[in-house]
A and B are shown apart, each in its own frame.
Chain A
Amino acid sequence: MTWLLPSALAIAAVTCIALIAAHFIARDRPVAEPLPTARFVPDRRIHARTTSIALSDLLLLALRIAAVAAIGLGIAGPIVAGARGRIARIVLVDRSRSVLSLADARDILRAAGAADVVIAFDSAARTLDAGARAIDSLDKTGATGSLSAALAAASAAATSLASGADSIELALVSPVSTEELDAATPAIRAAWPGRIRLMRLRPKTASVVSPSALELPREPNDPVVAGLSLLPRELGASVRVVRGRLTAADSVWGREAGHVLVHWPAADSATDWPARPNLDAIGGVTSATGAIVARLPRLWSVSGRAIARWADGEPAAVERTLGAGCIRDVAVVVDPASDVTLRAPFRGFSRALLAPCGGARAFAPADSATLRALAGVGPLAAARNFRGAADQTSRFTPWLLALGAALLLVELALRRSSRTLG
């Protein structure tokens, strides 16, 4: 048996002790004592009380204690687990780009037996219908995996399972690559009150990553081309940078897997992007890999998944999916007379623009310490940790509260009758 609000039991116990103490020091009307000169005592209505140290009114005390106990138990909310010892199972299945093959995941899931909840995740988590069909229909995506999103979804699923189980087992079917971890992952993992069963999948390896290649326009006087040419060639993808208008050939090329088409117009005539309502200049732009601090004009508004932002947060470069590849629109115009592209900050900034679709890949498996921390030690997560006071109820509570109210009524009647008799 568990309790929704165990502190109510302690409060009820303290109240009972106080009741007993109050009955020990009960104040009552003093017993009449003969005084022949009583007639000289002023005849006034005085409600004097005397104290006694004997336990008095045992029936009233019993009724009061019973009422307090019933109300305390009702508020504490006893929950008798219908499935004592039952373990609910939640399975997190990684279908991100870090996974080499989902066939391994299907095999593991079938071998592990039935699960109550199956959650497939990449950058987001989605609960699947439990069953073989759902597992078979699982598809791999090209998105980056996020263990934080998966663990958060597991906690949400555990909350719904908690009322029908004593413990919750969490299984993680994933290669657990480095890119699936983020700064929030340790904190979210720490919020899971139990160990996690890790079932490792084979990760993608460097051999299956697309060969790196960077195609730049043949314009030696273009400052952007000059700057990008200084970048190392280990980009992890085939990148084509277009400074003019995009052609159909460019689009066809960009649709292929592993291809990144970077559309970085050199002038307003090289694109049809919508112009900003107010043309202005800003002091910097930043990406995940670096920042440029310079006076940069802002000509266009671009929309998509932001991979670079102006200093005020507005997207400066966005990525859009194009077939199996992607296209990146970079709305950063560099003054041809400036040498900013030749400096190290530009190279750092540009590295994110030339990264594979979906960002840089880091398929290397997490280190052993991270895996140990992720798996954790100790028992499975107790279901009571997921039972919130707001959404949990006890079927005994109304009956116990009704019993307490009835006992209080009986106590009231008994007290009144004893007062009448007295």
Chain B
Amino acid sequence: MAPAPAAAASYGALLDAVRGVHWPARRAVSSVLPGAHHSTLRGTSAEFTEYRLYRQGDDPRRVDWRLLARSDRAYIRLANDRAVLPTTIVLDTSASMAFPVTTRDKWRLAQELTIGLAAVAHADGDPVGVALHDASGKTAILPPRTRRDVVAEIARVVLAGEPGGSDPLTPVLRALRSARLVLVSDLLGDEEESLRAVRAHIVSGGEAHVAHVIAREELDPPRRTLLAADPEQGFVQRMLVEATRREYEERFASWRADVARRWRAAGVSYTEVITDEPAPRAVRRIAAAGER
């Protein structure tokens, strides 16, 4: 299903801005399907890599007969294969993403990042899909696909999403089997469990990216007396006044630094994105952060 014309038009500029951006895999992929990323498999492609002595069981068709004639030794030609990297983007739809209440900048930026990253992955020929809670509260998973209109379909699903509730991301992350997992979230929910799930994904051979979406208003709350209420935990209500503002900022900065350190230590490509940063630039940073 194609996205609504208005939605397509609104993301047209974003898709234009990320055109030409490549999102290479962080390591060789083990996929057998030919693609743009280095594969862990050595095959018969035209991109020669090295020679290796023939061993029993090798395909005789890969023996370099000219070299055999010159050296009287049997070598086979090795070449790096190229493979696709199935990518699934997990979009956090918890209530904390609908912030600030009036502009919902976090949710808007998360939508743009999801669509932009999907477009970049699709442009590299990778299958791309998305997972999020739909408007009815159920988890909507669009499996990675390579067909032409997959970006439009992802945009439709993302646009239909509505932030709310406090459902954990961990079950979604554990259910996904894509080689590349991208989490677009503010990490204010089940961050510890999500990290464990992603770490398991990396250990199993996959790669993971996280786009940590932070609102400017979270970094610099309004300078007035504010009774701050956690939208996901209504019982948490604390008075933010000038006297406690500095400590709040220090705590938040410390938490962000700790999150970045732990996620990076787990092998995740971690990128912090502030809501006042243009989405195309953020997409480029996320894609570039994956390069080694």
Contact = CB atoms under 8 A, between A and B. Distances in A.
Interface stretch (A39-47, A144-152, A173-181, A265-273): A39-47
Interface in B230-245: 230-233, 236-241, 243-244
B248 interface: yes
Contacts of A43: 238
A73 B228 CA distance: 46
B230 A36 contact: yes
Contacts, number: 86
Contact of B230 (A38, A42, A44): A38
Interface in A351-391: none
Contacts of B99: 34-36
A34 B229 contact: yes
Given A33-B228, A35-B221, A36-B96, A46 B188 contact: no
**Could you say which interface size class chain A belongs to?**
20 to 34
Interface residues of B, number: 33
Contact of A35 (B226, B241, B243, B255): B226
Contact of B240 (A29, A31, A41, A49): A41
Interface in B90-145: 95-96, 99, 101
A48 interface: yes
B218 interface: yes
A35 B229 contact: yes
A41 B239 contact: yes
- Interface residue SS majority, chain A: loop
A44 B224 CA distance: 17
Given A32-B237, A38-B237, A39-B236, A44 B228 contact: no
Given A40-B252, A40-B255, A46-B239, A33 B229 contact: yes
A35 B215 CA distance: 10
A50 interface: yes
A356 to B, nearest CB: 93
Nearest to B99: A36
B227 A31 contact: yes
Majority DSSP secondary structure for residues of B touching A: mixed
Contact of B225 (A34, A37, A40, A48): A48
A34 B229 CA distance: 5
Given A32-B229, A48-B239, A37 B218 contact: yes
A48 B251 contact: no
A30 interface: yes
Most buried by A among B230, B236, B239, B252: B239
Contacts of B247: 42
B81 interface: no
B218 A32 contact: no
Contacts of B188: 36-37, 39
Contacts of B96: 36
Given A34-B229, A46-B243, A48-B239, 18 more contacts: A29-B227, A30-B226, A32-B237, A34-B99, A34-B101, A34-B230, A35-B218, A35-B221, A35-B240, A36-B231, A37-B188, A37-B252, A38-B236, A40-B251, A40-B255, A41-B248, A46-B241, A50-B224
Which 3 A-B pairs rank lowest in CB-CB distance, beginning with the nearest?
A36-B96, A35-B228, A38-B228
